[in-house]
Structure 1
């Protein structure tokens, strides 16, 4: 299979790329990035693109399955408008290009609590993206809704502290539905999804992602 990835430089994206490069079912891994990854592999095809000009590279978005795991924080983006550009606009344009090029399978990393009617900006933004991707009517769409992610070498202080609190609570059977999810496990679940022969729309929520990653 030929994979297409947006968000390859993030924690989940890096794990996804590394796992796909090791997977014999994928003969080519195409990443769309602002700057190349420090990875050398014959299967890896790097496309350095301008995300503000999706029409310039739309013809490159051709393959069997597209993975979307792009995202930023409000702090890093600097404003809600800038964050929405990354978390909604860029991802939607990638999805639209994939659909126009007849990519059949689309896999999106969203967020726990995503809802276009939410009063919370982040949850509403993620909900808007889910709806927009669904409305493109791919042959198959799988949306993952993880909660708190466990990233390698993260600099997000709040995330590290929150993860420790939840893990401590988990020891006493508390907040078990919010168990921190390692990005490597999420990446594995996404790849598993791409190998399931089915059509239609499905949503995999936090509690199911761990067991889904163990499927063969």
Structure 2
């Protein structure tokens, strides 16, 4: 039986490559993408006939809850404090939007729910970014009635981004030299390709 997928954050570094991988995956019939603004026809590559972009207001996700009744939900939403403008604005995107999405997935009885967290995420972290990620993990994993919830925890992401973040640009340059030194318990801190994160998200879904 062919699957249906819902993607939030499909225009970002991981989200875009995830949607393109889903388009090439013969197990999926349709991929609905909730986006902030209309996309150009050539934004995605692959079998774009599978894609249904829906422009939504993320401040009112509850108005689009009908889209959450699909088999597989992928959430790739995320920003930075610098880009968001404040800690509260960052938390709104990286915690509130994702948490609401999980609640809607539960209400609509979605088959599974996968989202992007971060290596080092911990609700007890002194780092604000990692603390928010950890609090979100606790909130979603502890949500009764949500089917098959899983988080991926990448380190610094590698890949072509319109706005290359300074840390990611540095990681990309140093990766060939540092990655061989990161092994054992440190292997999780290796910079990772966005395409590999997207592939891991797909592997976590229940078919």
TM-score by length of 2: 0.88
Contact 1:114 1:126 in 2 (8 A): yes
Is 2:170 the partner of 1:161?
A: yes
How far 1:55 moved relative to its partner?
A: 2.0
Contact 1:167 1:179 in 2 (8 A): no
How far 1:191 moved relative to its partner?
A: 1.1
Q: Choose 165-174 or 178-187, whichever is displaced more.
A: 165-174
Once residues 29 and 113 of structure 2 are traced to their aligned partners in structure 1, the CA distance between those partners, rounded to angstroms, is: 18
2:24 alignment counterpart: 22
- Segments of 5+ residues of structure 1 without an aligned counterpart are 198-216
Go from structure 1 to structure 2 and tell me whether the alpha carbon gap of 1:164 and 1:135 turns closer, same or farther (over 3 Å shift).
Answer: same
Give 1:170's match in structure 2, choosing from 175, 179, 196. Answer: 179
Once residues 81 and 177 of structure 1 are traced to their aligned partners in structure 2, the CA distance between those partners, rounded to angstroms, is: 28
- Segments of 5+ residues of structure 2 without an aligned counterpart are 43-47
Give 1:94's match in structure 2, choosing from 101, 107, 117. Answer: 101
Paired residues, what number?
A: 196
1:143 alignment counterpart: 151
Runs of 4+ with >6 A deviation: none
Go from structure 1 to structure 2 and tell me whether the alpha carbon gap of 1:2 and 1:173 turns closer, same or farther (over 3 Å shift).
Answer: closer
2:195 alignment counterpart: 184
Once residues 194 and 155 of structure 2 are traced to their aligned partners in structure 1, the CA distance between those partners, rounded to angstroms, is: 11
SS in structure 1 opposite 2:129? Answer: helix
TM-score by length of 1: 0.84
Once residues 110 and 148 of structure 1 are traced to their aligned partners in structure 2, the CA distance between those partners, rounded to angstroms, is: 12
Once residues 163 and 12 of structure 1 are traced to their aligned partners in structure 2, the CA distance between those partners, rounded to angstroms, is: 15
Once residues 36 and 157 of structure 1 are traced to their aligned partners in structure 2, the CA distance between those partners, rounded to angstroms, is: 28
Give 1:122's match in structure 2, choosing from 129, 133, 150. Answer: 129
